[in-house]
Amino acid sequence: MSMTDGPTALPGAGADQAAADRESKGTPPGSSAAAPRRGWFAGWSERWQAMPRQQQWALLLVVVVLAYLLPVIDPPLISTEPGNDFPLACQTMAIYALVAVGLNVVIGYAGLLDLGYIAFFAVGSYTAAMLTSPDSTFLKIPYLWTIPVAMAVTMFFGVMLGVPTLRLRGDYLAIVTLGFGEIVRILATIIPAMKGQVGFQNVGHPPGVQSNGVPVFANSNGVPWYWLTLTILIIVLLLAGNLERSRVGRSWIAIREDEDAAETMGVPTFKYKVWAFAIGASIGGLSGALYSGQVGFVNNQKFDVVTSILFVAAVVLGGAGNKVGAILGGAIVAYIPLRFTAIADYKYLIFGLTLCLIMIFRSHGLLAARQRLLAYGRHAYAAVRSSHDAKAKTALGGEAPS
């Protein structure tokens, strides 16, 4: 924060104050700072808040059912162009959405820029592949068991990478993760056990065989994979929502808004940053494991660092800090090149430009982050205040408040 200190763990306070003041005036992506911030769908969000609980649940149920039915209905206008199988496109969208939800924990909640998220995705993919593919000489376990193993392994990598870098200011994390994204690919090339470009064929899949002898979870059979991914996505979403509302989530948002202030207020910022990073990493690993299972083949060519910038674009496009936005962003980033194959070659340019333009002109993306946490704080304060006033009034006037 200080303009002069460089990478000190605890920058000097003097020059900091000015910088802190300056920063606090600006509003981070997905921030809930003083100025009202609205996504393009702000009206919807208000209408949603105003609805009774039952109505919300009913509407949510409809949305979920529609989401499950999406590849089966295959709506004509939305459907991808011939050559891109629509159920598989749905699966890709679901994977991207899952990745975006995971990355949103890191970027959106804790405000840490992870530019090498593909590395965690790759670690998850390789873990699943090496534990199930006949090409690897490791111990073999059933595919579904690789999912928790992949999450644990990537979480370990996340902690390993996070501990040295998260003590410093956030921008070091950005470049270290960017480097890590490339290093994983290089290591996959160099280390023979990871089989470089040859890769691992026949990565495992969940059990189940159709009547004609073809496995339910065949590589080309998008629908069951999509349903599996969607189910996991919903579970992750519920867990992430709970985290967001918990003490951990509040700490993340405090760190995102102003790290020094959070530290001063007694939030163990380093611990919660590592948590955010590790949880984000494990969701990346989870999506990687799902991806490698569906594709059935993993090699070092699949995990380009540029793809991690697409992931960041997904989160930013959707609105950092908003999990529904992240899903939307992830789905859009995956969907556009598949739907409009004519512009598929331009996707990196398009999303790179989108990233810049959104940041310059509209830093909160499609759906702005929720303001409820701060709003909740204000309500609580107002409630305490009014009851206090009421008590004072009773004490003074001796009249019972109505």
Partner 1 sequence: MIPTLLTLLPADDSSWITFDVPSLMQNFWSATFDGLTFGSIYALVALGYTLVYGVLNLINFAHSEVFIMGCYGVFFTLNFLGFGPSAPNLSLGSIIVNLLLALIVAMVASALTAFLLERLAYRPLRRRNAPRLVFLITAIGASFTIQYTIFLVRGPNPEAALTMFRPRPIFDVFGTIVDSQQLLIVIAAVIMMIFVDRFISTSRTGRGIRAVAQDPDTATLMGVNKERIIVTTFVIGGILAGAAALFYVMKIPSGVQYNGGFILGIKAFAAAVLGGIGNVRGALVGGLLLGLIGNYGQILLGNSQWTDVVAFVVLVLVLLLRPEGILGTSLGRSRA
Residues that bind partner 1 (CB under 8 A): 1-9, 15, 18-19, 22-23, 25-29, 31, 107, 111, 113, 115, 137-139, 161, 164-165, 167-168, 170-172, 174-176, 178-180, 182-183, 186-187, 189-193, 305-306, 309, 312-313, 316, 345-346, 348-349, 351-356, 359-360, 363
Nearer residue to partner 1 within complex by CB, 35 or 396? 35
Nearer residue to partner 1 within complex by CB, 85 or 182? 182
Nearest distance from residue 48's CB to partner 1, in Å?
27
Nearest distance from residue 398's CB to partner 1, in Å?
51
Three-state SS sequence of 21-56: HHHHHCCCCCCCCCCCCCCCCHHHHHHHHHCCHHHH
Helical H segments across 222-371, by residue range: 222-245, 247-257, 259-264, 269-295, 305-318, 323-339, 347-361
Nearer residue to partner 1 within complex by CB, 3 or 63? 3
> To which residue do tokens 């107002």 refer?
382
Nearest distance from residue 232's CB to partner 1, in Å?
24
Nearer residue to partner 1 within complex by CB, 191 or 380? 191
Nearest distance from residue 180's CB to partner 1, in Å?
7
What is the distance between the alpha carbons of residues 109 and 252, in angstroms, rounded to a whole number?
6
Nearer residue to partner 1 within complex by CB, 360 or 396? 360
Nearest distance from residue 69's CB to partner 1, in Å?
35
Nearest distance from residue 163's CB to partner 1, in Å?
8
Assign 3 to helix, strand or coil.
Answer: coil
Nearer residue to partner 1 within complex by CB, 70 or 312? 312
Assign 249 to helix, strand or coil.
Answer: helix
What is the distance between the alpha carbons of residues 218 and 203, in angstroms, rounded to a whole number?
11
Residue type present at position 190: I
Q: Which of 129, 130, 106, 131 is nearest to 117 (CA)?
A: 106
The neighbouring-strand residues paired with 215 are 209
Nearer residue to partner 1 within complex by CB, 161 or 254? 161
Q: At what angle do helices 323-339 and 347-361 cross, to 10 degrees?
A: 150
Nearer residue to partner 1 within complex by CB, 345 or 389? 345
Instruction: Name residues whose C-beta falls within 8 Å of residue 335's C-beta, 6 or more positions apart in sequence.
Output: 80, 89, 93
Altogether, the residues listed in the chain come to a count of 402
Nearest distance from residue 181's CB to partner 1, in Å?
10
Nearest distance from residue 305's CB to partner 1, in Å?
7
Nearer residue to partner 1 within complex by CB, 30 or 249? 30
Would you say 30 and 365 are in contact if contact means Cβ atoms under 8 Å apart?
yes
Nearest distance from residue 350's CB to partner 1, in Å?
9
Cα torsion 225, 349, 354, 280 to 10°: value is 40
For every residue of 181-204, DSSP letters joined together read HHHHHHHHHH-GGGTTTT-B-S--
Would you say 50 and 59 are in contact if contact means Cβ atoms under 8 Å apart?
no
Q: Which structure tokens are listed for 14?
A: 């003097």
